[in-house]
Amino acid sequence: MPVLKPNHARHPILILVAKAFQTPDVPRAAQEAYTLSKNHPVFVFAWDRYVEYPSWEVRGNVEVSSSHIGNLKKFSKLGLIFGGLIFQIAIALETVKLVKRLERRPIVIAHDINTLPVACFLKILGFASAVVYDCRELTFAIYSEWFNSAVGSFMSTIERKLLRYVRAVITVSDGIARYFARYNCHATVVYNCPKLSDVPLYSRIEARKDLGLPADDFIISCVTTLRYGCGLEILVEASKRLLGTHIRILIVGDGPLRSWLDGEASLVDKDHLVIVPRRPRSVALKYVKASDLTWVVYTEGSLNGSVGMPWKLFESIACGVPVVVEPNTLRSRFVQTRGCGIVLDNTNPIEVADAFYRLSTNKRGYNQIRERTKRLSGRYTWERESKKLLKILAAIN
């Protein structure tokens, strides 16, 4: 592995990711890396838990090092806290080896609480010039869901203690930013938006023609991981009440619910409920572009779910397609104030089916919503949101 030599006048950037960087599960980290590489030398240290990728490679202008130390579950046999501590130390030592090969101390961007201890460890030992914390979930909520409220409180306390070593905090929603404000910590909101260059340029009709979809149907799409908590059960039940109409439900993705969805689709008109396997992101966006509505609903009722602003919400808006969201969340307030979609009861398939039918037959009302969404399409893009991140790094430099 070569010595890592920054070729820019500015500080190098080291991005820490708790998943394999090459997977589609880390689009935010990837967009940050490729954007920052235009003005900074950028290095990524990722935890390749399942040893799927090389330990070192260059992707674009970004140098990616992958740890093959294994999954945290291997260490949890030592106990949740002690095993987690040993795991963090092992990862930190690997990170130090990487940083020592740099000619200048990097600015470290830690993605979520999993990588924050390592970033702060580098700062305390003088291996990092500054730490930027990119928090996409409420730490208390996520650990309470995974384990229990005691673990959630413990991890939240650890997070607050480590904030003293953090120069700047960025997050994905105003709800999470308000959480940090309670502890006198300002967090800059950088929405999870797609790049404008990733959004298909052709029209809805052109997208449908390319995908072999009927031009006149009212299409509601859902591009997601097929798992519980995404409201897929409600969407399927609603589809059964729409048989005989021109409304088509299109679900794109793979996951634990795939076999169940295939079974449900076999019981319904195959042209009415369509299940499409997971597609590359460029093709998935084409399905969004071809839609009249996109389903961005969560039914798990978690705290993170109520304050989250998911990636696919902004993908749909960037494509000019109105969204469907559940009530009493940050997403519903966002959609209602901007008029870029509809809010539906995520527990009542009858109400969902009725709302879809009313909207599909009210061309004037639907076109008004779509026009408002189109006007927003150029506002929520990564090109605009990344300027906030660049401004933070410029201040640190």
What band does 6 get if pLDDT is binned at 50, 70 and 90? very low
Quick: pLDDT tens for 226-243. 888 788 999 999 999 998
262 contacts: CB under 8 Å, gap ≥ 6 = 275
All structural domains of the chain: 13-193+382-396 (3.40.50.2000), 196-376 (3.40.50.2000)
Q: Does 144 score more than 80 pLDDT? A: no
Share the mean pLDDT of the chain: 87
> Percent of the chain beyond pLDDT 70?
90
Average pLDDT score over residue span 215-223:
94
Concatenated DSSP letters for 335-364?
HHHHT-EEE--TT-HHHHHHHHHHHHH-HH
Q: Does 7 score more than 60 pLDDT? A: no
Report in angstroms the alpha-carbon separations of 111 from 138, 170, 186: 13, 10, 17
Place of tokens 């306390």: 157
Q: Does 69 score more than 90 pLDDT? A: no
203 contacts: CB under 8 Å, gap ≥ 6 = none
Q: What is the pLDDT of residue 366?
A: 96
206 contacts: CB under 8 Å, gap ≥ 6 = none
What band does 151 get if pLDDT is binned at 50, 70 and 90? confident
- For residues 118 and 110, the answer to whether their CB atoms sit within 8 Å is yes
Cα–Cα distance between 326 and 350 in angstroms, integer?
15
> Percent of the chain beyond pLDDT 90?
54
Spatial CA neighbour of 106 closest among 28, 41, 171, 18 = 41
Q: What is the pLDDT of residue 325?
A: 93
- Select the more confidently predicted residue: 180 or 269: 180
Spatial CA neighbour of 47 closest among 28, 30, 24, 72 = 72
- Select the more confidently predicted residue: 306 or 80: 306
Average pLDDT score over residue span 5-17:
75
What band does 299 get if pLDDT is binned at 50, 70 and 90? low
- Helix ranges (H only) for 131-277 are 139-146, 149-162, 174-181, 204-211, 232-240, 258-267
Q: What is the pLDDT of residue 1?
A: 46
Weakest-pLDDT range from 82-96, 244-258, 260-274, 287-301:
82-96
pTM of the entire structure? 0.87
CA dihedral 255, 258, 261, 263 (to 10 degrees): -160
Quick: pLDDT tens for 152-170. 888 889 999 999 999 999 9
- For residues 51 and 60, the answer to whether their CB atoms sit within 8 Å is no
What band does 3 get if pLDDT is binned at 50, 70 and 90? very low
Inter-axis angle of helices 281-289 and 204-211, nearest 10: 120
Quick: pLDDT tens for 184-194. 999 999 999 98
Q: Does 4 score more than 60 pLDDT? A: no
